[in-house]
Amino acid sequence: MSSLLLNHLTQEHAAVGAFLELLDEEAAAMSHGDFAALPALAERKSQLIEQVALLDHQRELEQISLGYAADRSGAESVAAAGGEVLQTAWRNLRELATQAREHNHRNGVMVHTHLDFTRQSISFLKARGQPLYGPDGTHHTGTGQGNSLASG
């Protein structure tokens, strides 16, 4: 068993785990309407994706140095040849990566759901042919002068 390969798998697992936690933070922010938090979360996601890609590349180079292909079949083969510890590490990484893909998809659905709702709301307001709220926040009803929502 290659201790270097096991180290790569362990580091990759930690990075994917951090990415998964970040996806859960992102989902919570969207669920609670904290959209101001999303840009910082997106930046952290980008950084973690880069880190995972680098670790993945390093693992592939180690697979090649051990005489295996750099692809998934090579990873499966080197894990099988490396014994139970390496097989378990590889299986755990794959399972965590599957969770991350599922959570990332869930978040994408949430984003698109919010976007669709926003688009529909804007379309509804535009279809009325007149603004519902004026620039000063005053609620306009028909041709009247409007009432300030803040003052009741």
Q: Cα separation of 61 and 70, whole Å?
A: 7
Residue 144 main-chain phi, psi, to 5 deg: -70, 180
Q: Which residues on adjacent β-strands are paired with residue 148?
A: 138
Confidence band for 122, pLDDT divided at 50, 70 and 90: confident
Largest CA distance in the chain: 80
pTM: predicted TM-score of the whole model, two decimal places: 0.76
More confident: 144 or 83: 83
Q: What is the mean pLDDT of residues 20-32?
A: 96
More confident: 35 or 132: 35
Is residue 1's pLDDT more than 90? no
Q: How high is the pLDDT of residue 73? A: 95
Task: Give percent of the chain with pLDDT exceeding 70.
Answer: 86
Confidence band for 118, pLDDT divided at 50, 70 and 90: confident
Q: What is the mean pLDDT of residues 86-112?
A: 95
Q: pLDDT tens across 50-59, in order?
A: 999 999 999 9
More confident: 137 or 48: 48
Is residue 144's pLDDT more than 90? no
Is residue 97's pLDDT more than 60? yes
Q: What is the mean pLDDT of residues 60-71?
A: 94
Q: How high is the pLDDT of residue 148? A: 54
Q: What is the mean pLDDT of residues 96-100?
A: 97
Q: Cα separation of 133 and 17, whole Å?
A: 45
Annotate 86-115 with DSSP letters as a single string. HHHHHHHHHHHHHHHHHHHHHHHHHHHHHH
Give me the domains of the chain, ranges plus CATH numbers.
3-131 (1.20.58.300)
